[in-house]
Structure 1
Amino acid sequence: MPTTNATSESTGFSAAEHAAIKERAGELRAEGKQGAKKADGLQAVLDSMARMTPEDRVIAERVHVTVTANAPELLPKSWYGMPAYANVDGKVVFCFKNSGKFNTRYSTLEFQDAAHLDDGEIWPVSYALEKWSPAVEKKVAELVKASVS
């Protein structure tokens, strides 16, 4: 369960969540070559998040939890130094572009060509994430599910 502050906004991974993620990475490595690849991707995502500002890291960690819960088939990986999630073919479906990396006002969740978000002749492929909330979590979960459907 994520840690929270008085306004019920997430403050990132709890110590138990960090321990569970590291344990899972070890389990994946033990599964062999394919598991090791996924574990290495997970470690790259965790390393990328560790380099973020605390504000960006909180959002990135919550995105990661939401992706893991709603699209476990996606493989975590680092993409241009950003946390990203790829399909089984290795194509990036979306990435988390943190504001600190590019000195922008807000972080974004950016969907790539492999995402299944097509809707007519025009549709959004980038979503601003200023802070995490239950409403943001719900929308991200919907987008993640749609992107792999």
Structure 2
Amino acid sequence: MGDTKSGFSDDERAAMKQRADELRSTKGLKGAAKLAKEAEACVEAIDALTGTDKEVATALHRIVIDEAPDLQHKTWYGFPSYARDGKVVVFYQPAEKFEARYGTVGFQEDALLDDGEMWATSFAVIEVTPAVEATLRALVKKAAG
């Protein structure tokens, strides 16, 4: 992961390029056509994953379908993501993308997880167990509203 003169790592620059490609892929599309293209990209992003990343992303996808069917499926910087009114609520950041020890399920500011003065917005997931799945179901349901 080399640093560049711009201050961004090679991986960060690749993620920004990925996001630009995502925006270009739906340019000019509206309504159902845009949603369908974004949903297809989400499934393709999950299918491209391997190992634990694929297992977690697949579980999250299934959970969103079950618990938050109104969220739109899309990609965000190449990550499988789920949005309300075009704003990402929850996403999966694979470990392999940044050569990290674990992937994370993250929640953006439009997730309805507020709980007092401080709350978690990112969760490391190293294995999908019944307990992990139950926790993710509760979080996704709450985040979606």
Q: Aligned pair 1:72/2:82, yes or no? A: no
Task: Count residues in correspondence.
Answer: 117
- Cα distance in structure 1, aligned partners of 2:58 and 2:33: 21
* Residue among 103, 110, 133 paired with 2:106: 110
Q: Aligned pair 1:53/2:35, yes or no? A: no
Q: How far 1:94 sits from its partner (Å)? A: 1.3
Q: Which residue of 2 aligns with 1:120?
A: 116
Kept in 1: contact 2:52–2:126 (CA 8 A) = no
Residues 25-75 of structure 1 show CA distances to partners (whole Å, capped at 9, x for unaligned) of xxxxxxxx5332222121111111122223211110111001110000000
- Cα distance in structure 1, aligned partners of 2:36 and 2:51: 24
Q: Aligned pair 1:92/2:88, yes or no? A: yes
Residues 7-34 of structure 1 show CA distances to partners (whole Å, capped at 9, x for unaligned) of xxxxxxxxxxxxxxxxxxxxxxxxxx53
Alignment-mate amino acid for residue 82 of structure 2: Y
Runs (4+) off by over 2 Å: 33-38
How does the TM-score come out when normalised to structure 1? Answer: 0.74
Structure 2 unpaired stretches of 5+: 1-29
Q: Is the partner of 1:116 in helix, strand or coil?
A: coil
| Residues 21-40 of structure 1: pairs in structure 2 closer than 5 A | 34-40=31-37
**CA-atom RMSD in angstroms:** 1.4
Q: Which residue of 2 aligns with 1:42?
A: 39
Instruction: Work out the percentage of aligned pairs sharing the same amino acid.
Output: 41
How does the TM-score come out when normalised to structure 2? Answer: 0.76
Alignment-mate amino acid for residue 86 of structure 2: G
- Cα distance in structure 2, aligned partners of 1:51 and 1:126: 22
Structure 1 unpaired stretches of 5+: 1-32
